[in-house]
Structure 1
Amino acid sequence: MKPKFTNSARYKCLEYLKKNSYDLYLIYCGIEECDPGHFYGPVSRNEYLLHYIIEGKGIFQANGKTYHLGKNDSFLIYPSEVTYYEADKEDPWTYIWIGFDGIKAESCLNNATFSKDNRVNKFECEESLWNYVNGILNASKLTYASELKREGYLFMFLSALIEEKSRKNKSNKNETYDYPFHIYVEHALEFIAHNYEKNIKVSDIANYIGINRSYLTSIFKRHLKVSPKEYLVKYRLDKACTLLKTTNRLISDIAADVGYDDPLTFSKVFKSYFEVSPKLYRTQYQEPEYATEK
């Protein structure tokens, strides 16, 4: 079905979009300046539908509750539930809306602190949300490039909601993280494996995966029984041991290869772990070379 796109001074809408993704996909979106008393419902939907109020007031009814809403409020409609909403007769609302579905839809909404018990939230990222919906509406052509743009703006819309809630939680010193702790540990280990040869610090690892240093240290000790610093040092030294045993490269070069700009610092750290210097370790453990000819 061809996308429907209308554009006027009072109303914009894009709907009947093709559903190509099972994870998260856009169905429709729009912007409307409502007439006084304009209402919709009671009716049910087949998808998730999120409204965000730009200005004005109105009511939203779901699960036997009535919510009186205004500027910067948002309200969520779940699939297959009957809801009703109506613009105020004196100060009718203008809102944007976006309908979407997919197996990741509910988890995205949960991370933005929406749930069936928490239908209404306030967000201050009005300009970003407005721009993302406008981006979708402007990508109305039936082309593959436009389809990718629309899906991208949907992801950015939801990420703006999640990012704002996460930022507020951290500023309130009630810091929470989106994923189970072992996911952060896995990302940290991957970062170390790809960057150990650089002059990285524990703070660089924490910044890369988006958590603070103290939390990273806590989950490392919980999961691996060592601190991130201890793990990083041991990882570098294990790589150095392999190079000492299997190559004839200069020790200063090996030090640089595993993230130590100063060979003396490398030797000092190495000896504290293995109780021998890198040079003596090589003498003791280097694999012998066998001649291939008599």
Structure 2
Amino acid sequence: MGDTKFSIFRDEHFIDLTIIQYGYEKCSPLHAFGPYVRNNYLFHYIISGKGKLRANDKKDNMQEFQLQGGSGFIIEPGYVNTYMADEQDPWTYMWVEFSGLRAKECIESAGISYKHPVYLPDTKEHGEELEQEIRQLVYGENTSSMEMIGRLYLLMDKLIRYSSTRKKRQEGKLREFYSKEAITYIANHYAENITVEELARHCQLERSYFGKIFKMVIGQSPQDFLAHYRMARAADFLTTSDRQISDIAVMVGYPNALHFSRAFKQIYGMSPREYRQIHRIIS
């Protein structure tokens, strides 16, 4: 019933915003997804019908939101969410999963978050334009990786400009600069024994202040981001090469293969060997 497309465009040079996957779903009555915790941002735009979203906050308090066609909702990484189609008028929606340095900034600029996940366009016409932008992304044929990134930027632009709860861009250029510097350093040295102290020194900042601004911009602590970055690179190596798992562990900064396997399973929910068997894209 669903139509899902996956992006295999993974390149640290486009770490500001990156598409993970996207798709279309015409749901049957009471069709539900969750409870589930996402590793990335996930935006749904409802074309027609109705449904509800149950979202948990940091204290695990649950809120329920009723939604219908012409609106949308955001799911942030790290929070438990469940969403379900209406029994009488089940919804049809399109969705885009994305991540990157500017992902948190984009959704906050649009006035949505795990606290206020419901997205409402400021006018019906703008809602239709936003829907069309998502359609071009979801149904684009023979779309290049560069074009996909461009489409995602156009989508984020409309998401912000057409939001009824839009927030003005806040001062944060310096924080963003330091965070980008740290991520560039991670991209070039992730195979080494990087510490938060080392990242802070590279940015010429005090450790606790560096950790605070990094999390404000990225939405993850430096330690968590480094772990996810390493495992993303490991996942690439597992699916696109014949290298031994122990060699891949060393390549992403884990001399101990057992520690690597544990860290990989924490993020992907399965061992490196299982991941390779499921997602292998070479013969």
TM-score (norm 2): 0.53
Paired with 2:111 and 2:75, the residues of 1 have a C-alpha distance of 14
Provide, for residues 96-152 of structure 1, a one-character-per-residue CA deviation record: whole Å limited to 9, x for no partner.
1111000110001111001232111212433323322232234453xxx61111111
SS in 2 for 1:91: coil
Corresponding position of 2:83 = 85
Shift of 1:181: 11
Out of 28, 31, 34, the position equivalent to 2:24 is 31
SS in 2 for 1:165: coil
Q: Is the 8 A contact 2:119 2:163 kept in 1?
A: no
Corresponding position of 2:127 = 126
Paired with 1:122 and 1:112, the residues of 2 have a C-alpha distance of 10
Give the partner amino acid of 2:88: E
> Per the alignment, do residues 181 and 16 of structure 1 end up closer, same or farther by CA in structure 2, a change over 3 Å counting?
closer
Give the partner amino acid of 1:35: S
Paired with 2:32 and 2:100, the residues of 1 have a C-alpha distance of 27
Out of 1, 15, 31, the position equivalent to 1:22 is 15
Residue 98 (1) aligns with residue 91 (2): no
Give the partner amino acid of 2:49: G
Q: Pick 1 or 2: higher relative contact order, CA cutoff 8 A, min separation 6.
A: 2
Shift of 1:165: 3.0
Map 1:51-66 to 2 at 5 A. 51-63=44-56, 64-66=62-64
> Per the alignment, do residues 138 and 56 of structure 1 end up closer, same or farther by CA in structure 2, a change over 3 Å counting?
closer
SS in 2 for 1:84: strand
Between 1:125-134 and 1:35-44, the stretch displaced more is 125-134
Paired with 2:141 and 2:25, the residues of 1 have a C-alpha distance of 17
Give the partner amino acid of 2:32: F
Q: How many corresponding residue pairs?
A: 164
Residue 162 (1) aligns with residue 163 (2): no
Which consecutive unaligned segments of at least 5 residues does structure 1 have? 1-9, 170-175, 184-294
Paired with 2:64 and 2:96, the residues of 1 have a C-alpha distance of 21
Paired with 1:95 and 1:79, the residues of 2 have a C-alpha distance of 20
SS in 2 for 1:116: coil
Q: Is the 8 A contact 2:45 2:131 kept in 1?
A: no
TM-score (norm 1): 0.51
Out of 141, 162, 169, the position equivalent to 1:178 is 169
Map 1:1-294 to 2 at 5 A. 11-20=2-11, 21-63=14-56, 64-123=62-121, 124=124, 125-141=126-142, 146-165=144-163, 177-180=168-171
Shift of 1:74: 1.2
Shift of 1:16: 4.1
Paired with 2:37 and 2:156, the residues of 1 have a C-alpha distance of 22
Paired with 1:68 and 1:58, the residues of 2 have a C-alpha distance of 6
SS in 1 for 2:4: strand
Paired with 2:22 and 2:120, the residues of 1 have a C-alpha distance of 19
Q: Is the 8 A contact 1:128 1:157 kept in 2?
A: no
Give the partner amino acid of 1:129: L
Shift of 1:179: 4.4
Shift of 1:157: 1.0
Identity of aligned residues (%): 32
CA RMSD of aligned residues (A): 2.4
